[in-house]
Amino acid sequence: MYEPRVGEPAANKLNIADTRVVHGHRVCQTREVKWLCLENIYQKLHRPNFYDIGGTYMQDVADYWFTYKTEIVGDIFLLHLFICNHGVSSFSVAVSCGNKFKVSKKTDTVYLQQYLTEFQFKQLNELSHTYLTTYSFTELDIECLKDRKLYIAVSFPFASRPLSEEISLEVIDNVKLNHDCSALFTDPIGSDFVIESADGVKFQIHKVILAAHSEVFKAMLKGETAESQNSYVKLVDVGGDDLRYMLEYIYTGTVTDVENINFASLLMLADRYNLKGLWEVSEHALSEQITLDNVLDILIVADMYDSDFLKTEAMKFIRENKEVLNCSSFSEINSADLLKQLCTYLAT
């Protein structure tokens, strides 16, 4: 799995005019590309055919070109993505993996998740039309695409260096492994700060690691704050297990024991401490855990923390299982705006 630097521009501020967006014949430099923009995608999914996206350039010379083919199989809509190389015969390209997407209502755009799958090609003929991957959508999915543009994240990991200087994936994995701080979390040698949970569980941790991963913690530990002076803070509304999982993510970049984690609590902590990666992990995990019994609770959580992706996934589930609306927990939705959004979604 490859995750490019996609923080700027923010996905919910995307627009075709951005120079890092591939769209038609407008020049987008290969080393700067971040997104592919597919217009009128709702109509094109209903009209199976080959369609052009646009390409990237090295200076003013065409470098790579992207196309896609739409297909309908039963009640599933398929989008097959292709790439054509104008120059080098060996290259790597990474694109959005999976079919999960987020909807930005402010800009009427839909974008696939920003975790990428990398594909490597060796010794291709020039102008080879090469298959990359396929995305599949249900009828409910494509309703979200109506009158919206679809953005697919893309990156060329080694576009700035010649092929002879490329670093193998094995080397990259080894570097990541060597920079894993899990050992310091397990045995906090050199720790200089204590975080205590509401139920009295204390964790010996390192200020520099907290500050490196969270702007909120960085501000807390900076200057003359009480937390910085005392090298201690108690989180009066965070339980020991939730705090442990958050710190595990900060130290290792992942979480274990997934089956027992309360991801709604982790989504709250990710929002509070501005932990983007933990936010995305929690969103995805909650979307996979949706059931008849918890979908309304997850919908409320998604609305509370402004997660459009999770809210859409919950609404899609409710649309497919409308008996949920008869549950007693439906009355717990106190937000008139959320009720309006749900009714509008169910009516389309």
Q: Answer yes or no: do 298 and 256 share one domain.
A: no
User: Bigger pLDDT: 17 or 340?
Assistant: 340
Residue 145 has pLDDT above 60, yes or no: yes
How confident is the model over 307-329, as a mean pLDDT? 86
Q: Answer yes or no: do 28 and 140 share one domain.
A: yes
Q: Answer yes or no: do 16 and 158 share one domain.
A: yes
- Both tokens assigned to 104: 């930005």
H or E segment at 38? strand 35-38
pTM over 0.85: no
Whether residue 1 lies inside any domain: the answer is: no
Q: Answer yes or no: do 190 and 63 share one domain.
A: no
Q: Nearest to residue 133, comparing CAs of 175, 168, 82?
A: 82
Q: What are phi and psi of 178, to 5 degrees?
A: -70, -20
CB contact at 8 A, 143 and 75? no
Whether residue 305 lies inside any domain: the answer is: yes
Q: Answer yes or no: do 101 and 16 share one domain.
A: yes
Q: Answer yes or no: do 40 and 158 share one domain.
A: yes
Cis omega before residue 9 (within 30°)?
Answer: yes
Determine the structural domain holding residue 72 and report its residue range.
11-165
Whether residue 323 lies inside any domain: the answer is: yes
Whether residue 215 lies inside any domain: the answer is: yes
Give the lowest-confidence range in 131-140, 169-178, 313-322, 337-346. 169-178
Count: domains in the chain = 3
pLDDT digits 0-9 by tens, 250-282: 988 888 888 889 999 999 999 999 898 888 889
Q: Answer yes or no: do 220 and 111 share one domain.
A: no
Residue 161 has pLDDT above 60, yes or no: no
pLDDT digits 0-9 by tens, 178-192: 456 788 888 888 889
- What is the reported pLDDT for 79? 95
Whether residue 313 lies inside any domain: the answer is: yes
pLDDT digits 0-9 by tens, 67-83: 999 999 998 999 999 99
Whether residue 285 lies inside any domain: the answer is: no
pLDDT digits 0-9 by tens, 284-315: 889 889 999 899 999 999 999 888 888 888 98
Specify whether the backbone of 24 is left (phi greater than 0), alpha (psi in -120 to 50) or beta.
Answer: left
Q: Report the C-alpha gap between 143 and 313 in whole angstroms.
A: 13
Residue 207 has pLDDT above 70, yes or no: yes
